[in-house]
């Protein structure tokens, strides 16, 4: 029996900021953002979307009645939680009409949360093959206007159903992981924007990747030649190139070209959305599956998950017959193409309109939010959600 990802889906906002517009407004050479950072567009998240609504919008594309019968584990990975006590998973369970005979909770370790959830789900489904787990990675990446991190903002949600005999991807073999107490990126409770030591965070990321990859090779006996493609947590897509470059010299020239080409397919969605934090690795995976032209059933892909603070993990998955979902791929392409381009001024207004961390009722202007699930406001300390 194999265990893995049976369904995947993705949601982000219907607005974006063009990185050339941002570069011009910040007096930077556009090529710094387009090539040096590797980002073309950035999702602009309105205050009527939070991690709960984005997750619900992602899930509604894939959750059917069979899933409703079988899902009894809901794990919500996020570092943009909406409450210091109640988990986003409980809100989601209710919104999607999932079974109440379920464990529903939130996990946090920066961008690593969804991977923690996925690995927990794998263990659970291995022991309960007739059950399914729903794993979410949803976040909104905020660094601040005119900060070096601004070009690496973004947001969205990934949803994954973990089952036995999955149609898309199966887990294969062990994981290698490494953690250490590191201050490369964090967000104190009183802030809506992250604090980051950007260049240091890049170095730690590559160090953790090398560390887990070397350990993985040692315990599995596999080499770079055994992988069809490598996928990465992509806070910005150049970061994945830095990761890939750290091991490329282990392959001959043909293999190097091949891995670089697969990376190009894999970063297509990410370079148009920006950082989803904990969903980013899985958006990279989905982009690879939907855009690569030469993947085949049985191919092995590597996944490197990194969450600042810091936790790294490397593992592999193999492609199953249903790894490519053309309907989903077309829908994502259409959604990304139909987004509204906002000016830098409009983006700044939306950014500054973020719900502050303070007491008080708020009524939001949700009429223009095109998503099915949205946030209407806050009343008596409670978030009020709506559905079209």
Instruction: Give least dist CB 193 to ligand HMG, A.
Output: 11
Q: What count of other Cβ atoms lies within 10 Å of the Cβ of residue 190?
A: 7
Residue 385 phi/psi, 5-degree rounding, is: -100, 155
Contacts 24+ apart (CB under 8 A), 361-368: 364/47, 364/48, 365/48, 366/48
Min CB(362)–ligand HMG separation in Å: 26
**Interacting positions 155-194 with ligand HMG (CB under 6 A):** 184-185
Binding part of the chain for ligand HMG, among 5-13, 63-71, 161-169, 230-238 by CB under 6 A, reads 230-238
- Considering 79, 106, 262, 271, which one is annotated as catalytic? 79
Both tokens assigned to 2: 């194999």
Spatial distance between the Cα atoms of 155 and 162, rounded to a whole number of angstroms? 23
Q: Please, which residue, 135 or 168, has the CB nearer to ligand HMG?
A: 135
Looking at 233, 262, 271, 313, which residue is catalytic?
233
Among 46, 243, 266, 307, binds ligand HMG (CB under 6 A): 307
The residue range among 35-43, 66-74, 83-91, 258-266 that interacts with ligand HMG, by the rule CB under 6 A, is 35-43
The answer to whether residues 342 and 17 touch, using CB atoms and an 8 Å cutoff, is yes
> Catalytic: 111?
yes
Binding residue count for ligand HMG, defined by CB under 6 A:
30
Residue with token string 């973020």: 354
Long-range Cβ pairs for the range 283-288 (8 Å, 24+): 283/10, 283/156, 283/158, 283/234, 284/231, 284/232, 284/233, 284/234, 284/240, 285/8, 285/169, 285/231, 285/317, 286/8, 286/10, 286/158, 286/332, 288/229, 288/231, 288/262
The CA distance from 223 to 217, in Å, is 6
For residue 233, the tally of other CB atoms under 10 A from its CB is: 33
Binding string to ligand HMG for residues 100 to 139, with x set by CB under 6 A, is what? ----------xx----------------------------
Q: 210 Cβ partners below 8 Å, 6+ apart?
A: 246, 247
Rule CB under 6 A: choose which of 163, 275, 287, 316 binds ligand HMG: 275
> Cis bond leading into 310, ω under 30°?
yes
Neighbours of 103 (CB within 10 A): 13
List residues bridging with 378 in a β-sheet: 362, 383
CA atoms of 35 and 113, how far apart (whole Å): 29
Q: Per the structure block, which two tokens stand in for 58?
A: 């992602």
> Does residue 239 bind ligand HMG (CB under 6 A)?
yes
Rounded-to-integer distance, Cα 131 and Cα 117, Å? 15
Angle between helices 198-220 and 237-248 (to 10 degrees): 40
Q: Which of 267, 280, 237 is nearest to 33 (CA)?
A: 237
Binder of ligand HMG out of 69, 103, 191, 199 (CB under 6 A): 199
Q: Quote the least distance from Cβ 33 to ligand HMG, whole Å.
A: 8
233 is catalytic: yes
Residue nearest ligand HMG, Cβ-based: 36
- Tell me if 29 is assigned to a ligand binding site: yes
Pick from 3, 121, 158, 196 the residue near ligand HMG by CB under 6 A.
Answer: 196
Exactly one of 79, 262, 313, 369 binds ligand HMG (CB under 6 A); that residue is 79
Q: Looking at 24-32, 129-137, 175-183, 343-351, which segment touches ligand HMG (CB under 6 A)?
A: 24-32
CB of 201 to ligand HMG, least distance (A): 3
* 42 vs 93 by CB, closer to ligand HMG: 42
Q: Does 235 bind ligand HMG (CB under 6 A)?
A: yes
Nearer to ligand HMG, 116 or 319 (CB): 116
Catalytic residue, from 106, 111, 170, 271: name it: 111
Q: Residue from 19, 151, 160, 375 that binds ligand HMG (CB under 6 A)? A: 151
Alpha helices per DSSP H over the chain? 19-25, 30-31, 51-59, 65-70, 88-96, 113-127, 198-220, 237-248, 253-266, 270-273, 280-291, 326-337, 344-352
Closest contact distance (angstroms) between CB of 19 and ligand HMG is: 12
Active site residue 59: no
242 is in an annotated binding site: yes
Contacting residues toward ligand HMG, per CB under 6 A = 29, 31-32, 35-37, 79, 110-111, 148-149, 151-152, 184-185, 196, 198-199, 201-202, 205, 233, 235-236, 239, 275, 277, 306-308
Q: Which residues are annotated as a binding site for (3S)-3-hydroxy-3-methylglutaryl-CoA?
A: 29, 143, 242, 275
Active site residues: 79, 111, 233
């Amino acid at each position: 029996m194999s265990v893995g990802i049976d369904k995947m889906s993705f949601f982000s906002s219907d607005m974006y900021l063009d990185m050339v517009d941002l570069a011009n407004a910040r007096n930077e050479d556009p090529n710094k953002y387009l090539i040096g950072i590797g980002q073309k567009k950035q999702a602009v998240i309105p205050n009527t979307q939070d991690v709960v609504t984005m997750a619900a919008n992602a899930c509604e594309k894939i959750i059917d009645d069979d899933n409703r019968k079988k899902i009894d584990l809901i794990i919500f990975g996020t570092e943009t939680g909406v409450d210091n006590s109640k988990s986003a998973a409980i809100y989601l369970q209710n919104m999607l009409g999932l079974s109440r005979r379920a464990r529903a909770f939130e996990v946090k370790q920066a961008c690593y949360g969804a991977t923690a959830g996925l690995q927990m789900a794998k263990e659970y489904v291995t022991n309960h093959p007739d059950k399914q787990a729903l794993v979410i990675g949803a976040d909104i990446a905020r660094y601040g206007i005119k900060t070096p991190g601004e070009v690496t903002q973004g947001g969205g949600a990934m949803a994954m159903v973990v089952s036995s005999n999955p149609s898309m991807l199966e887990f294969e073999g062990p994981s290698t992981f490494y953690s250490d107490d590191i201050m490369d990126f964090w967000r104190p409770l009183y802030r809506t924007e992250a604090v980051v030591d950007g260049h240091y965070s890049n170095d730690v990321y590559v160090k953790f990747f090398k560390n887990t990859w070397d350990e993985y090779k040692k315990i599995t006996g596999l080499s770079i030649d055994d992988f069809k493609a490598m996928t990465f947590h992509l806070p910005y897509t150049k970061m994945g190139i830095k990761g890939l470059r750290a091991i490329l010299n282990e392959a001959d020239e043909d293999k190097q070209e091949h891995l670089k080409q697969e990376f190009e397919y894999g970063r297509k969605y990410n370079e148009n959305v920006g950082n989803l934090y904990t969903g980013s690795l899985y958006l990279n995976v989905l982009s690879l599956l939907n855009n690569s032209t030469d993947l085949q059933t049985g191919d092995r892909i590597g996944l490197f998950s990194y969450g600042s603070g810091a936790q790294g993990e490397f593992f592999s998955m193999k492609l199953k017959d249903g790894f490519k979902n053309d309907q989903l791929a077309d829908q994502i392409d259409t959604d990304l193409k139909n987004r509204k381009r906002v000016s830098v001024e409009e983006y700044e207004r939306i950014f500054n309109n973020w719900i502050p961390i303070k007491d008080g009722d708020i009524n939001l202007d949700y009429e223009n939010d095109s998503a099915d699930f949205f946030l209407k406001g806050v009343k008596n300390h409670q978030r009020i959600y709506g559905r079209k």
